[in-house]
Amino acid sequence: MSEIPEDVMERAREWTGPFKGDAAGALDSLRRSVAELIGENPDTWPTHKNAPLAIAAAVAILVRDAQDAALVPAALSAQPVQPVVKMRTGDHVLHRPSQETWVVAWADYETGYMAPCGWPTCQARIDDCDIVKDATDEESAQIVAALAISGRTDAHKATQIADRSVSATPPASAGPEPQGEATRLQPVASPVQGYRDQIATLAAEVEALRRERDELDLLYKAASDLGENNHRMASRRADSLDAVLAQCREALRPFADIAGEAWADENGWTDAACQNDRIRDWLGPSAFFAARTALKGASHEPTI
């Protein structure tokens, strides 16, 4: 082992105090003192045999514990922390990222998210919002009731959170209880309950209106079907009449003009009419049969 330089030994002797041995003896004396100070066995501490490192660590822990102990009186004398005001349905809040003012539909502190009223629905972090106006109990309950019948897919959360808040609210105390009398929990009057009854009434009215609407839909469909059926029947009748008219026109065609000339006009027989010829010389039986068929049909009893 190489010898320790004399200047190093000189500096070490300046810090050994009354101990007049060598540097190793001074370090061992310090090690044993620190071991006793922290409650360890001086003959075995530290087990890893690195005395300077163990002494430095022990001193650091002692200093830290002393600093923590110094903070205790200050912590005990500090002002009590003010309770955090939580937003609820109906409050007006400023959404800092968008700089928009919203009316709260619900605020769920278990998830850390809230949703504003209005459409389209959305959600935002509660930490991004600041309350700018508190809603009264009545205003909050009215909005909870309105959301319940609004048709919003998340409307149930407003009711659930309101019920949860009511059940967690401690009852108001009217003063100290008489000695010897057990403390009784007074029921909490919830404005939500009154609106819930109104919601039930409105829901019944809505259901009645829906049934009436369904009945009207059935009547409208029946009337529409009847109208369409009547239209089809009228259309078929018109087509049939058009066919009869066309048949009559075709049957009367031989009588209108014979050999390209009219035999009769409004004044009677014309000069083109046959004078001495018989009608059968000009018109055959097919012309008369066609006219008769057009007027009375192909099958009929002869007129006597």
Q: Are strands 100-108 and 264-265 parallel, antiparallel or unpaired?
A: unpaired
What is the C-alpha end-to-end distance of the chain, expressed in Å? 161
**DSSP conformation class of 276:** S
Residues whose CB falls within 8 Å of the CB of residue 54, separated by 6 or more in sequence, listed in order:
31, 34, 45, 46, 48
pLDDT of residue 121: 87
CA distance 68 to 82: 24
The DSSP result for 229-256, as a single string, is HHHHHHHHHHHHHHHHHHHHHHHHHHHH
In this predicted structure, the answer to whether residue 189 has a pLDDT above a threshold of 50 is no
pLDDT tens-digit readout, 255-289: 666 656 676 777 777 777 666 666 666 666 777 67
Of 241, 256, 248, 261, the residue nearest 292 (C-alpha):
248
Region class of 260: left (phi > 0), else alpha (psi between -120 and 50), else beta = left
pLDDT tens-digit readout, 192-227: 556 666 777 777 888 888 888 888 888 888 888 888
* Domain spans in the chain, listed from the N-terminal domain onward: 6-77, 92-167, 247-296
pLDDT tens-digit readout, 60-119: 887 787 777 766 666 555 555 556 678 999 999 999 999 999 999 999 999 999 999 988
CA distance 23 to 291: 151
Is residue 141 within 8 A of residue 162, CB to CB? The reply is yes
Rounded alpha-carbon distances, angstroms, from residue 264 to 58, 126, 258: 144, 101, 10
pLDDT of residue 163: 82
pLDDT of residue 134: 93
Beta strands in the chain (DSSP E): 92-95, 100-108, 113-116, 124-125, 129-133, 264-265, 268-269
Q: Environment class of residue 143 by beta-carbon count within 10 Å: exposed (0-12), middle (13-18) or buried (19+)?
A: buried
Q: Enter the tokens of residue 251.
A: 């049957």
